[in-house]
Structure 1
Amino acid sequence: MADSYYGQLLKDSPFLVTNQQLDTELVDKLVLQLNRIYPQILTDKEAHKFRNLSVPTSIRLAELLAHLKVKGEEACHEFYRALHIHAEDVYFSLPTRVSRRETTDPTGNKTAVDPRERFVLNDRGPWFFFGCFSVAVGLALLYYCADGKAFGDPRRVLGFTALGLGRQAKEVLISYTDDTNRKL
């Protein structure tokens, strides 16, 4: 039940009702979104009831959430979609969203996941990059600056460099070395 939108709405309802960021304007946007795009979830009469300005916003929001719980799983899902569209900061601060971002280690302590860990391309460090870049620059200099007398034909050197590369790179380098009509 905790994975369903209905279960999430049960857990998030107290937070949503007490959250000061959900002002009258935002509640109206959510009601209009649900009414216009999903009239089967919120009819015009119901939308008018939840947009009544004579009722305090927290009470209207509590009634809206109770109504969505009665409507079922799809209504709860669409509420979360509308909340994500119109109030992204509130959406990501929901208790169910915060608990999803946290992980539990084997000792039972909750630790937050470091968002930078998702973007690490490799763990070899800058010296690995520098080494690969140096090899590439060296091969380029050898190819363009060698006159053929010092190292022989640069095409043969390119043929040997294809040994450690992927299939497509090998095909390109080997086809270039096989091209005997091409002049340097």
Structure 2
Amino acid sequence: MGESFLEQLRLDSRFLKSDRRLDTELVDKLILQLNRIYPQILTDKEATKFRDLDVPTCIRLAELLSHLQEKGEEACREFYHALHLHVEDVYFSLPTRLRLRESGDPVDPITSPTARYALNDRSPLFYLGCFSVAVGVALLYYYGESREVSGSSSALGLAALGLGRTVREVLIWYAERKIDGK
């Protein structure tokens, strides 16, 4: 597949240390993300150390990156995840991300920009069909309760227009049943 997150962080460290977009606020967000979500990666004491405002941001970031590399693969992976969440433009401009995109290698699920938006693999017609059924049932309910029998059958006829054969048959059966007074 590709290199590990630890190897990627070693390669990306120089870029991250020199990128001016990683200001004090963003570095603090990354530290807090790692500390709150993954205290086994960054304890409270370590987070306090890396958030010390008396130390310049570039030094704190360099120390954080070294610390994460010492912690291992999981820590590096979670750093990339936090970077992706909080500083997406920096994340996608990392040298390893650019190289992955250019080489055509598959990108892991965390980094794929389209993976965040794909809820499932169904087409828009599926959702249109579901919506149509819901509208048909709503019309059936509304017109069946508040109108005369003739009004409900006309609503059922309109609701059945865009539906499949089985659904149409059920709606027609319901309308006939309402007409018969059952």
Q: TM-score, normalised by structure 1?
A: 0.55
Query: Which residue of 2 is the match for residue 98 of structure 1?
Result: 98
Matches within 5 A, 1:148-163: none
Instruction: Please give the alpha-carbon distance, in whole angstroms, between the structure 2 residues aligned to 1:50 and 1:5.
Output: 21
Alpha-carbon RMSD: 1.5
- Kept in 2, the 8 Å contact 1:2–1:8? The answer is no
Instruction: Please give the alpha-carbon distance, in whole angstroms, between the structure 1 residues aligned to 2:101 and 2:2.
Output: 15
Instruction: Please give the alpha-carbon distance, in whole angstroms, between the structure 2 residues aligned to 1:69 and 1:14.
Output: 13
- Kept in 2, the 8 Å contact 1:35–1:43? The answer is yes
* Partner AA of 2:17 in structure 1: V
- For these two proteins, the number of residue pairs brought into alignment is 105
Query: Which residue of 1 is the match for residue 43 of structure 2?
Result: 43
Instruction: Please give the alpha-carbon distance, in whole angstroms, between the structure 2 residues aligned to 1:3 and 1:69.
Output: 14
Question: Kindly, what percent of the aligned residue pairs are identical?
Answer: 70
Cα distance, 1:103 vs structure 2: 3.1
Query: Which residue of 1 is the match for residue 89 of structure 2?
Result: 89
Gaps of 5+ in 1: 105-171, 173-184
Cα shift readout 1:95-153 (whole Å, capped 9, x = no counterpart)? 0000011138xxxxxxxxxxxxxxxxxxxxxxxxxxxxxxxxxxxxxxxxxxxxxxxxx
Cα shift readout 1:13-57 (whole Å, capped 9, x = no counterpart)? 000000000000000000000000000000000000000001000
Query: Which residue of 1 is the match for residue 5 of structure 2?
Result: 5
- Kept in 2, the 8 Å contact 1:12–1:94? The answer is yes
* Partner AA of 2:86 in structure 1: H
Q: TM-score, normalised by structure 2?
A: 0.56
Query: Which residue of 1 is the match for residue 32 of structure 2?
Result: 32
Instruction: Please give the alpha-carbon distance, in whole angstroms, between the structure 2 residues aligned to 1:25 and 1:31.
Output: 10
Matches within 5 A, 1:24-173: 24-103=24-103
* 1:102 aligned counterpart, secondary structure: helix
* Partner AA of 1:87 in structure 2: V
- Kept in 2, the 8 Å contact 1:6–1:69? The answer is yes
Cα shift readout 1:45-86 (whole Å, capped 9, x = no counterpart)? 000000000100000000000000000000000000000000
- Kept in 2, the 8 Å contact 1:17–1:58? The answer is yes
Instruction: Please give the alpha-carbon distance, in whole angstroms, between the structure 2 residues aligned to 1:103 and 1:38.
Output: 32
Cα distance, 1:3 vs structure 2: 1.3
Cα distance, 1:2 vs structure 2: 5.5
